[in-house]
Amino acid sequence: MTDPNSLVQIKGLRDGLLVSLGNASWDDLRAALMEQIETRQSFFRGARVAIDVGGQIFHVNELSELRDTLSERGVNLWAVVSESPTTEKTAQLLGLATRISKPRPQEMTRPPAEAAGGEAAAMWIGRTLRSGTRIEFPGNIVVLGDVNPGAEVIADGSILVWGRVRGVAHAGANGDQSAVVCGLDLSAGQIRIAGAATIPPALRSPRRGSKVEVSERSGEVRPEKISLKDGILQMEPWQANQS
């Protein structure tokens, strides 16, 4: 196992390199990877690299450190593929892709909702998602905060936003028509469920008297749910006496 070639496997993809890490401690793997890069500098210089880290769990500082170290050696890290939801979330928050164009073989066979733990599974995002962030999860997603313009939340299941949606929320991204999007204010976002998309103001009567929409500021808080009925997106306001 100490042979670096067994810890770090490199193969070419259509648009870059895929580095697959074996089973060892991160320190060993990192050292093996760096050794490969140092000894084959001309091969790696300018390369676009995706890393499959298997089940390794990464936090922001480790992943950003790895990316910066690679970047200083002229290697551009663009994607991190992982089986760990923690690592996936970290990578997505840092703006790295988590899926490379070719799906992993086991992903093609497993039903996504089950892979994520079935109905019960949700990814918890305890912060506002700012422009440029893209969160994808093969189950449900809960956001405690806003989804700002330019941010995207994409779930195979449903999406609940305890805040305002002013970016894109796509529920049922895998085709599940029973998925819903709930939020405290959906009026300024773009909502998609399965294959249908809408801009919520289209779902309700125009607002009274507001001047030119100079402001991106949305109106008052009004909890809403959008679901798909007979192929059309419908919005229901949430009411206290509703069951």
Residue ranges that bind other proteins, judged by CB under 8 A: 60-61, 64, 68, 71-72, 93-95, 127-133, 146, 148-151, 166, 211-212, 214-217
Q: How far is the CB of 213 from other proteins (least distance, A)?
A: 10
- Tokens for 31, please give them: 């050292």
Helix or strand (DSSP H, E) at 87: helix 85-93
Q: Which is nearer to other proteins, 60 or 232 (CB)?
A: 60
Q: Which is nearer to other proteins, 50 or 151 (CB)?
A: 151
Backbone phi and psi for residue 73, each to the nearest 5 degrees, phi listed first:
-100, 15
Q: How far is the CB of 43 from other proteins (least distance, A)?
A: 19
Treating both helix axes as pointing N-terminal to C-terminal, what angle do 60-72 and 26-39 enclose, rounded to 10 degrees?
10
Q: Which is nearer to other proteins, 133 or 140 (CB)?
A: 133
Q: Which is nearer to other proteins, 90 or 158 (CB)?
A: 90
Q: How far is the CB of 12 from other proteins (least distance, A)?
A: 24
- List the beta bridge partners of residue 233: 228
- Tokens for 180, please give them: 């819903």
- Tokens for 48, please give them: 């676009």
Give, in degrees to the nearest 5, the angle at Cα 35 between 29 and 38. 140
Q: Which is nearer to other proteins, 195 or 219 (CB)?
A: 219
Q: How far is the CB of 130 from other proteins (least distance, A)?
A: 3
Q: Which is nearer to other proteins, 5 or 131 (CB)?
A: 131
Q: How far is the CB of 74 from other proteins (least distance, A)?
A: 9
- Give which of 66, 59, 49 is closest to 85, Cα–Cα: 59
Query: Do 159 and 143 meet the contact criterion of CB atoms below 8 Å apart?
Result: yes
The sign of the torsion formed by the CA atoms of 171, 176, 177, 180 equals negative
Q: How far is the CB of 203 from other proteins (least distance, A)?
A: 23
Q: Which amino acid is located at 8 in the chain?
A: V
